[in-house]
Every structure is written in C-alpha cells, then in structure tokens.
Amino acid sequence: MTKLVLFWGEKDDQLFHWRLTHSQKNDPSKTSDLLAQNYQLESKEILKADLACLADMAQTSSVTLVLSSIDIATAQVEVPNKAQRLLRKAIPYMLEDEFATSVDDLFFAFSERNANNLLPVRAIERNYLESLLELFRSAEINLSEIVVDIDLLSPPQEGIKLTVSDSQCLVVDDKNERWHCHPDDFSWLIQKQISLDDTDEALPVAISMDIYSEQPSDKFIHRLPVGRFAPEHHQQDDLLEFMITQEQKSINLLQAEYEPKKENAKLTSFLLKVASIAGFVLITHLVYQGINIYSLSKQKQQLDTQKITLYKQAFPGTKRIRNPEKSMRTYIKGLGSSSGDGDFLSLLTSSSEMLTDLSKIYPTNINYDNTRSELRLDVIASDLVILDQYALALTASGHQVEKSSETKRGDGYSSRLIIRK
C-alpha cells in the first residue's frame, strides 16, 4: 500500500509539496521517484489550484494532509479521568482564555494522555477545515487523515530535537513537549525556557540538541547561548522525506463529525459483485416476462378474434358484437329460464348421464323437436347388446324411447333413438 503525503504549508501559500512512499522499509526518496514516474509528474511542488492532477495517484494510495503548525493552535490540558464522553464539550471552554479566536469558531482534536498525564489538543478554524475538505472533495481525493507538521517528529531519548527550514523551526523535547517558531526567534525563546527551568541548586549542564536541516546550520548554532547546548547537526537531502520516516503517531484532525466513514473494501467489492449479478438476473427476468406478456397479448387478440368469428357462426343474425363472451352467458342463462329450451337441456342432461362409456357407445348427431318435445339422438354402439342396454337404461330412468332399426357400420351398429319425457 502506497502513502501519499501532502505538505500543505501555510493557509495563504500558493504551492504545496507532495511525497509518495511505499509501506515497505526502503529508501523513501527512491520509492517516491519510482512511483511518480508512473503518473508523469515531474515536480514535487504543485500549485494548490492544480490539486486535481493528483487524483489518479490518490485512488491507489492512502492520503495524508500535513498542515502547517502556524495555522493550528496547540495546547496541553489536564483533564479528570472521569466523564470521558464530555471531553469534546468541556475542552473548548477549558482553553477559552488561551485563544484570541472564539472557541465556537474552532474545532478541537485530541488524542490520548501523554507520559505527563496531559491531554494534547489541536485547534483549527472550522471554516478553514471545511474549506479544505470541500477542496479535496471537488478534486475527488479522499483524505485518510489530516495532521500537523509539528506532530510528525518523534521525541528524542534526551535533550531537544528540531528541524530548521527557512521560515520555521519545529521543536520537540524528551518530555514530548512541542512548539514552533521562526528560526530567528529560536535563540531567545530557548534561553527564556532554560531560565524558567533552572534552579539555584542545579548546575549548568550542556543539553543535547539534534538539529535537522537541508542547509548548513553554523549560523544557527552560533546564535545559541554559549555552553548551554551540545548541538549536533544532521544534514538532510530532503527534510520532508525525513519527517515522513519518523513514523510518529500524530493527532488526526478528522474526528467527530469530520471523521471519514470506514469501509470494508473486500466486503464492498463482494457486495458490488452480488448486486451486479442480481441486477443482471433481474433485467433478464424482466426481459423474459416482457416477451411473455407481449406473446400472451398477441394470443389474446387472436382468441378474441376467434370468439367473435364463432359467435357470428352460431348467431348469423347478430349485427353488432361488443362482448361475445357476455352475450353467450346471457343466452345460456336465457335457455335455462325458457320452458321449451329448458326441456331440451334437462332431456339432454338426463340422456347423456347414461352414456357412461363412450368407447362402447357415443352420439354422432343430436336434434331436438321443440313442438313434440322429443330428442332425436343418433348413436353408434360397439354391438347390439350395448345399444339395447342403453335404451333400457333410459326407459328405467323414466324416459320414453323409440328405437329405429340398427344398421351395420364398420365394427359397430348405428341407430336413431327418439327420447321423450
């Protein structure tokens, strides 16, 4: 996993610096140069207005934004062990007298207590923080953390450790107390601090001081109080790369309502795959159902046409046909209510009930004489016995049956039965 570190500088600076490193333990500068070749970026100094040119690089990297301590207020407060959930509400009012800006306009971030049981606090203007977040959101860059440059330095085992640039000194001591100043102001500020720490019983002892800078520090060392420090200069090719390699756990300003939402990349990828498969299946199902609906609608149209054709054949005198199915149901109900037609239906029903096995005897033609109320039924039986049994069954059920002479037809016998009630 690569890490993209953006040194934003001061709020009004037009330029910012970027460094790209790999999680493996190797030379950060070589790694940064090697990775940068893939994105065709020739300079590690870019205009803030051109932030979007790093969007492709940020897609595959964890992005850390480093702000200048000049724009951030730092403090340490002593807080009780109880009521930890109220710290975010209490800290602004505990530091209200130390800031010129109203605490309502500041956002406070903090971490765990240090060795002195003090809580490190960092304060940033809300408008500045929200403008940064909006700027990076517009550039489509997701920030993993926002830290302060002074928090990048790891504390020394003893003495003082500082980085010196043209415009700023970042200082941390063995008690993990941090502060910053202009290089020209360091001499008298450190002298003032030593004077406060000295006691009458204490003997002056040279304090270890590790100085890290890109430029020679002879002039800076000559300004120090004589005999009070044992300075040792460490020349750096790239001071920003040196600060990255410190691997100091810094206070992330993205807390509370500004904390980025954590996402499980594997779970998200799996859910996206499942959603894509489900979407494909759903679309396929909808297309299939659409085809079925279209096919069924065509069949319905054909059946409606056939119903109208059959209705015209059954009732040739009908001129206007709106709903043949409804008209047919009305006609069937009418058959049951009229006397003559009712006799036909009842006679047909009672006669057909006796036809229990159509493989032995079955009707070929049915005719009804309404004036005589008699049903003329032409049937074909497999043999004469079956034909006689059917006639006897009708007689036993209360019907009057007249049977014409039988005629041989194929393997069976045909005859006409005249049935009355």
Tell me if 107 sits within 8 A of 124, measured CB to CB: yes
**Confidence class of residue 354 from pLDDT cuts 50, 70 and 90?**
confident
Domain residue limits at 221: 154-245
The arithmetic mean of pLDDT across residues 309-319, rounded, is 75
Residue 8 shares a structural domain with residue 147: yes
Tell me if 79 sits within 8 A of 90, measured CB to CB: yes
Q: Which pLDDT does position 60 carry in this prediction?
A: 85
Residue 101 shares a structural domain with residue 193: no
Whether the pLDDT of residue 133 is over 90: the answer is yes
Residue 140 shares a structural domain with residue 160: no
Which of 236-245, 312-321, 353-362, 372-381 comes out lowest in average pLDDT? Answer: 312-321
What residues have CB less than 8 Å from 227, skipping those under 6 apart? 204, 206
Q: Which pLDDT does position 204 carry in this prediction?
A: 60
DSSP state of 226: T
Tell me if 194 sits within 8 A of 134, measured CB to CB: no
CATH number of the domain bearing residue 395: 3.30.1360.100
Q: Which pLDDT does position 43 carry in this prediction?
A: 83
* HSE (side-chain half, CA atoms, 13 Å) at 262: 3
**Confidence class of residue 281 from pLDDT cuts 50, 70 and 90?**
very high
Residue 233 shares a structural domain with residue 381: no
Residue 150, judged by CB atoms within 10 A of its CB (0-12, 13-18, 19+), counts as buried
The angle at the Cα of 293, spanning 291 to 295, to the nearest 5 degrees, equals 70
The arithmetic mean of pLDDT across residues 125-150, rounded, is 92
**Confidence class of residue 359 from pLDDT cuts 50, 70 and 90?**
confident
Whether the pLDDT of residue 348 is over 90: the answer is no
Q: Which pLDDT does position 334 carry in this prediction?
A: 63
Whether the pLDDT of residue 67 is over 90: the answer is yes
pLDDT tens, residue by residue, 164-189: 998 899 999 888 888 999 998 998 88
Residue 143 shares a structural domain with residue 254: yes
Report which of residues 137 and 100 the model is more confident about.
137
> In Å, how far are 117, 281, 313, 365 from 77, measured between CA atoms?
9, 59, 102, 111
Tell me if 168 sits within 8 A of 182, measured CB to CB: yes
84 belongs to a structural domain: yes
Whether the pLDDT of residue 262 is over 70: the answer is no
pLDDT tens, residue by residue, 73-83: 888 888 777 65
CATH number of the domain bearing residue 26: 3.30.420.380
Q: Which pLDDT does position 226 carry in this prediction?
A: 80
Q: Which pLDDT does position 332 carry in this prediction?
A: 66
DSSP state of 360: T
302 belongs to a structural domain: no
172 belongs to a structural domain: yes
**Residue with the two structure tokens 């046909």:** 321
pLDDT tens, residue by residue, 302-312: 888 888 888 77
Question: What count of residues does the chain have?
Answer: 421
Residue 111 shares a structural domain with residue 166: no
319 belongs to a structural domain: no
Residue 1 shares a structural domain with residue 140: yes
Q: Closest Cα partner for 52 from 138, 115, 125, 110? A: 138
Residue 99 shares a structural domain with residue 7: yes
Tell me if 225 sits within 8 A of 187, measured CB to CB: yes
Residue 76 shares a structural domain with residue 100: yes
Residue 219 shares a structural domain with residue 168: yes
Residue 404 shares a structural domain with residue 351: yes
395 belongs to a structural domain: yes
End position of a domain, from candidates 233, 262, 291:
262
Helix, strand, or coil (residue 411) = coil
Q: What is the mean pLDDT of the chain?
A: 83
Whether the pLDDT of residue 283 is over 90: the answer is yes
Residue 129 shares a structural domain with residue 20: yes
Q: Which pLDDT does position 36 carry in this prediction?
A: 52
Give the chain's domain count.
3
4 belongs to a structural domain: yes
Compute the distance between CA of residue 307 and CA of residue 135 in angstroms, rounded to an integer: 71
The angle at the Cα of 355, spanning 349 to 359, to the nearest 5 degrees, equals 145
286 belongs to a structural domain: no
CATH number of the domain bearing residue 160: 3.30.420.370
End position of a domain, from candidates 262, 288, 320:
262
Whether the pLDDT of residue 120 is over 80: the answer is yes
CA dihedral 149, 152, 155, 161 (to 10 degrees): -50
1 belongs to a structural domain: yes
Q: Which pLDDT does position 287 carry in this prediction?
A: 92
Percent with pLDDT over 70 in the chain: 88
Whether the pLDDT of residue 131 is over 70: the answer is yes
User: Model-level pTM?
Assistant: 0.59
Helices (H) and strands (E) in the chain, counts: 11, 18
